[in-house]
Amino acid sequence: MPTTIPDKYRDLLDAKSFASLGTVMPDGSPQVTPVWFDWDGKHIRINSARGRAKDKNMRRDPRVSITILDPDNPYRYLEVRGRIVNITEDGADAHIDALSQKYLGKPYPFRRPGEVRVSYDIDPEKTSFMG
Amino acid sequence: MPTTIPDKYRDLLDAKSFASLGTVMPDGSPQVTPVWFDWDGKHIRINSARGRAKDKNMRRDPRVSITILDPDNPYRYLEVRGRIVNITEDGADAHIDALSQKYLGKPYPFRRPGEVRVSYDIDPEKTSFMG
């Protein structure tokens, strides 16, 4: 049975909020970075580039936590804990452009030479929230 | 030798930014929650209440990550990874009031009956940043 995001917090899945992604380092300690995200109706989708710390972490240990703050009320948030169920470079370039459209209103302007974009799907397993 | 926060990002330690705290759950998966913080010149200090998930996590595994976004530029951030070196209830009530003054301009208004506040000092070990 899929974990449902509480109705009261579903708006945050479409909000232009930044999210904070927690991953696990090789030594078991946590790593947290801000990320863009979107929602495909089932998964929270994020995007990074091949070889970055979080890319390596998610390939080694698929368990993540992602916290989304309400952009209009920082005392309201949703945390989704779950697992990366799909990692792909197919369509990942188009995906970062779509995320950039969402957040910046234009195609992704920060590409670096040789950068290979990667998309990750997070399957929600547990949620917690406040506000 | 103490880890120094890069000069270019020290302003974030005094900013009225929210931070995202990553801790480790009993099963080794990450947990991320938004937190208030301040800086005593050596440690990033946060505050929670006895018995909460992050309180239990930090008592069991002192390794944390805390990411501070520039309130004026979400594409600029500082991540500090480190270790909880002090956990105390002494002064923790005054500390949450001080944090509330910083963020809300008034004493902490969200106390719950029976809540026991706890302060935690994070010793910075590694930093990463962007922007």
Q: A53 to chain B: which residues are within 8 Å by CB?
A: 128
Q: Do A29 and B65 touch (CB under 8 A)?
A: yes
pLDDT digit string, tens, across residues A9-49 = 999 999 998 999 999 999 999 999 999 999 999 999 999 99
CATH number at B7-130 = 2.30.110.10
What are the tens digits of pLDDT across the range A97-125?
999 999 999 999 999 999 999 999 999 99
Partner-chain residue, chosen from B23, B69, B128, that has the shortest CB–CB distance to A30:
B23
- Which residues touch A70 (CB under 8 Å, ≥6 apart)? A12, A15, A17, A76, A77, A131
Name the residue of chain A whose CA is nearest to B127's CA.
A31
- Every domain of chain A and the residues it spans: 7-130
Dihedral, CA of residue A92, residue A123, residue A61 and residue B131, to nearest 10: 50
pTM of the entire predicted model: 0.95
A65 and chain B: CB distance < 8 Å anywhere? yes
By C-alpha distance, which of A79, A87, A73, A86 is closest to A32? A79
Minimal C-alpha gap between A113 and chain B (Å): 17
Is A76 part of the contact surface with chain B (CB cutoff 8 Å)? no
ipTM given for this complex: 0.94
> Which chain A residue is nearest to residue B31, measuring alpha carbons?
A65
